[in-house]
Amino acid sequence: MATPHNNANPGDIAKIVIMPGDPLRAKFIAENFLEGAEMFTDVRNVYGYTGTYKGKQISVMAHGMGMPSIGIYAYELFNMYDVDVIIRVGSTGGLKDEVQVKDIILAQGCSTDSNFADQYEMPGILAPIADFGLLNKAYNKAQELGINVRVGNVLTSNHFYNGFTNAYERWRSMGVLCTEMESAALYYLAAQANKRALSILTVSDHLFRDEEMSAKEREQGFTEMINLALETALEI
């Protein structure tokens, strides 16, 4: 049942998948958080592993950068490998003044400048939102673990480098907390497949202040977010 992007066999992938963007972060999670992790795909160096976390079978797989990339991998997981739940663990750039670097954000919904949803030919604008059950479990688990999280609207953009200097100012004036490049696509794909999805994001930099994490910190410094995702998965 391999695809051009995934050489896993049926049964290799768990019902719950944790998805970072960076393949090296997927490898880091598998090696440091999962027991008995075995690689099920390495096509295009996009690594996927299945192991157990506190006795529960969980997979971790990278999704790359941008909506087209996660659009391929998440679509195949939901529709070809019968995955039920995807939890994205990613980085995001802060927009609102109160958002701080290393804050954790639960993406309740996504604004977007993308036309990704045009493929569904809706007679209006389909709002990409998280599964409330997952969102509620993650929020409650964060309170239990003493993790301070922010919940709200994020921007999923097609642009990493935005040529319009006031664009982000407009988004944050409407209460958007941060910007990233994948979550809206994940939420659209979950809605299409009648599956469940949530994005948990760590603020790696701030677009209105000179603050950022290093590449190494982004790869290995998201422990709190990863713990929250895995502990949430145990509640499913």
Q: Long-range contacts of range 44-51, CB-CB < 8 Å, 24 or more positions apart?
A: 44/5, 46/5, 46/73, 47/23, 48/6, 48/8, 48/13, 50/12, 50/13, 50/14
Q: Which residue has the higher pLDDT, 166 or 86?
A: 86
Residue 165 has pLDDT above 80, yes or no: no
Specify the CATH class of 16-234 in words. Answer: alpha beta
Q: What is the pLDDT of residues 200-232, one digit of tens each?
A: 999 999 999 999 988 777 666 689 999 999 999
Q: What pLDDT, on a 0 to 100 scale, did the predictor assign at position 162?
A: 74
User: Side-chain half-sphere of 60: how many Cα atoms within 13 Å?
Assistant: 29
Max Cα separation, the chain?
A: 49
Mark out the alpha helices in the chain (DSSP H runs): 23-33, 67-79, 132-145, 167-173, 183-193, 215-220, 223-234
Active site residue 113: no
Q: What percent of the chain has pLDDT over 90?
A: 90
Counting Cα atoms < 13 Å in the Cβ hemisphere of 69 gives 16
Which residue is catalytic, options 84, 118, 205, 210? 205
Residue 174 neighbours by CB under 8 Å, 6+ apart: 111, 153
At 2, the pLDDT band (50, 70, 90 cuts) reads confident
Provide the pairing of β-strand 35-41 with 48-53: antiparallel
pLDDT band at 142 (very low <50, low <70, confident <90, very high): very high
Buried residues in 89-101 as b, exposed as e (16+ CB within 10 A): bbbbbbbbeebeb
Instruction: Cite the annotated binding site for a purine D-ribonucleoside by residue number.
Output: 5, 180-182, 204-205
pLDDT tens profile 30-72: 999 999 999 999 999 999 999 999 999 999 999 999 999 999 9
Phi (first) and psi of residue 115, to 5 degrees: -100, 25
Query: Which residues are documented as binding site for phosphate?
Result: 21, 25, 44, 88-91
Residue 166 has pLDDT above 70, yes or no: yes
Contacts 24+ apart (CB under 8 A), 160-165: none
Strand partners, 104: 149, 202
Q: Return binding residues.
A: 5, 21, 25, 44, 88-91, 180-182, 204-205
Strand partners, 203: 92
